[in-house]
Amino acid sequence: MSATALPATGLPGAGPASPEEWAPCSDRSRERDDPLFATGSRGLQWFLVEVSSGWGKRALLDPPFDAELGRALVTRIESAGLRPLAIRRTGRHPSRLEAQTSWRWAFVDSRPGHEGIRWGEVDSPEKLLEVPLDGTAGRASDRPLFAVCAHGRHDRCCAVRGRQVATVLAEAYPEETWECSHLGGDRFAGTMVLFPHGLYYGRVDDGDAAAVATAYTEGRVVEEFYRGRSALTHPVQAAQHFARTAFGDDRLDAFAPLDEHWNGVEGPGARWTVRLAAPGGGGATLSVELAEHLSAPLLSTCDTTRPGQVRQWALVDLREE
């Protein structure tokens, strides 16, 4: 990915960078070796809408999608406690929506024990406002859905790295693979989320995206690129990462969360204790103590000009009880 082909922006602790100094946010993240684990954003249930054209910066809220309809749709979805996401097949996309004659949608439940995908279709985008959002509409599907962020108007790293991932993945899983709008974690591009379980992955263009997807179909996670599960909190995501690292257990269902406790301290001194089910069963548990801290200031996207800090996690103690 060539930095010189992209416009310049600022760097942490400095003024505007010259073009030769600028680098994409995903390159900078790799240089810093930003931790991937425990960076998956929250999403218990999702509502996906197929928009086959190009997307604006905010997908459903910007042209070529009807802005007024988009606001009504996103408000309705979010008010029901779901995350909205635009999806489309990989490849060339029309610049206008007139070419789209049907509008597929998917309701995804990522809650542990309730995982599932239901598909439906309407013949006009306005009818999306009539689709029930309680998980009763549509047809249940036993196929997984692989959503790769390729939202170039939001961040150019997602366009370049994400589309590479989507192309490779679609060769192995043509029916399951979709490009999607912004997922979060632009600096970890190429990013993807695997449904229905809501497993976030990052930097998958550095590896074999198809192998990561295959592992998911086999009930395993690939820790090297794993960011976390959307239905779990960041402390639980971090605790599971350290448990998998310690025990080498890559099963998706391993280390089920039992409870979590925060010591109530903001900033330095913040500690979390997470209890997980121990491997082997028998009622044993793991107690994982975590220290929460903030990173050094960084630019989290290609267009960000003001450095910010992000939450990170360190292992304090891990023991079986």
Give the tens place of pLDDT for each residue, 9-42.
333 333 344 444 678 999 999 999 999 999 999 9
Predicted TM-score (pTM) of the model is: 0.91
Burial class (CB within 10 angstroms; exposed 0-12, middle 13-18, buried 19+) of 4: exposed
Tell me the three-class secondary structure of 109-177, residue by residue: ECCCCCCEEEEEEECCHHHHHHCCCCCCCCEEECCCEEEEECCCCCCHHHHHHHHHHHHHHHHHCCCCE
Residue 172 near residue 216, CB atoms below 8 Å: no
pLDDT digits (tens, 9 = 90+) for 269-317: 999 999 999 988 788 999 999 999 999 999 888 888 899 999 999 999 9
* pLDDT (0 to 100) of residue 147: 97
Element (H, E) at 277: strand 271-277
* pLDDT (0 to 100) of residue 97: 65
* pLDDT (0 to 100) of residue 5: 30
* pLDDT (0 to 100) of residue 297: 93
Residue 229 near residue 252, CB atoms below 8 Å: no
What is the chain's pLDDT, residue by residue, as a tens digit (321 residues)? 333 233 333 333 333 444 446 789 999 999 999 999 999 999 999 999 999 888 888 889 988 888 999 999 999 999 999 999 999 998 766 656 667 889 999 999 999 999 999 999 999 999 999 999 999 999 999 999 999 999 877 878 888 898 999 999 999 999 999 999 999 899 999 999 999 999 999 999 999 999 999 999 999 999 999 999 999 999 999 999 999 999 999 999 999 999 999 999 998 899 999 999 998 878 899 999 999 999 999 988 888 889 999 999 999 999 998
Report d(CA 37, CA 288) in Å as an integer.
Answer: 15
* pLDDT (0 to 100) of residue 10: 33
How many CB atoms lie under 10 A from the CB of residue 107?
Answer: 24
Q: Beta strand pairing status for 103-109 and 83-88?
A: unpaired
Reduce the DSSP state of residue 286 to 3 states and report it. Answer: strand
* pLDDT (0 to 100) of residue 64: 81
Rounded to the nearest integer, the mean pLDDT of the chain is 90
* pLDDT (0 to 100) of residue 135: 96
Burial class (CB within 10 angstroms; exposed 0-12, middle 13-18, buried 19+) of 136: exposed
- Which sign, positive or negative, has the C-alpha torsion 73, 129, 78, 155? negative
- Name the strands in the sheet holding 311-320, side by side, starting at the edge strand that comes first in the sequence: 257-262, 271-277, 285-294, 311-320
